[in-house]
Amino acid sequence: MEFAASSARHVVLASTSPRRRELLASLHISFEVMPSDADETTPDHWAPEQIVTELALRKAKAVHATLGPASRQAVILGSDTIVVLDGQVLGKPQDEAEAASMLRSLQGRSHHVYTAVACIDAITARAEVEYRSTLVTMRALTEDEIVAYAKTGEGLDKAGAYAIQGLGAIFVTGIDGCYFSVVGLPLSLVSEMLGRFGVHVLK
């Protein structure tokens, strides 16, 4: 997938996440979606911020490596999100049982959501990566609520097994930080970073 040659900067979203696509679309900028297929394994001893920044950059680099000459004006945007509870990283659950298990550990407590954003200039290969951390508090849940929510399947493709922008919102009693970072793409950070690469949301 390539862009036509143009003097304008183009954004390539290195993600197939429908949530990130919807959030980026809300900025009313032109962009293309390309899956990164990047390796997302990391060492167990890495800190949360190291994990998300490395994976966001890795995704952007993977797409950058596939771009042809017609995409030389592109700015590649990569992102990654993880949920951390007591120093333990909670990824995407494998099935309903694991989703329910994650919800049991999160309920009645606060956890951190880390989301990183990476930008790469296709012309110069200049890269920047930053992250945001948001504290999310969940109310106590009944076992029936946990099982019923896990059965909806809403959290199966999401870190921490819940969607704050969906039914999972009924469990969240408060956040300290960027809401959009929890959904998957901190829009204020994205806007700032794209601006440094010549893509301005408000012209």
**Which of 24-38, 58-72, 100-114, 155-169 has the weakest average pLDDT?**
58-72
Does 2 score more than 50 pLDDT? no
Distance separating alpha carbons of residues 151 and 167, to the nearest angstrom: 12
Q: Confirm whether 191 is domain-assigned.
A: yes
Question: Among candidates 197, 191, 160, which has minimal Cα distance to 178?
Answer: 191
Question: Among candidates 69, 70, 73, 65, which has minimal Cα distance to 34?
Answer: 65
Domain containing residue 116: CATH number: 3.90.950.10
What is the mean pLDDT of the segment spanning 137-152? 97
- What pLDDT is attached to residue 149? 97
Q: Confirm whether 203 is domain-assigned.
A: no
Could you give the number of structural domains in the chain? 1
Residue 26: domain span: 10-196
**Considering the entire predicted model, what is its pTM?**
0.91
Give the residue numbers marked as catalytic. Answer: 80
- What pLDDT is attached to residue 1? 33
39: confidence class by pLDDT, cuts 50, 70, 90: confident
Does 169 score more than 70 pLDDT? yes
203: confidence class by pLDDT, cuts 50, 70, 90: confident
Does 4 score more than 60 pLDDT? no
The string of pLDDT tens digits covering residues 8-34 is 788 999 998 899 999 999 999 999 999
Question: Among candidates 94, 129, 98, which has minimal Cα distance to 115?
Answer: 129
What is the mean pLDDT of the segment spanning 150-170? 95
Does 71 score more than 80 pLDDT? no
Q: Confirm whether 3 is domain-assigned.
A: no
Residue 27, classed as helix, strand or coil, is: coil
- b/e burial code for range 107-126 (CB count within 10 A of at least 16 → b): beeebbbbbbbbbbbbeeee
Q: Confirm whether 81 is domain-assigned.
A: yes
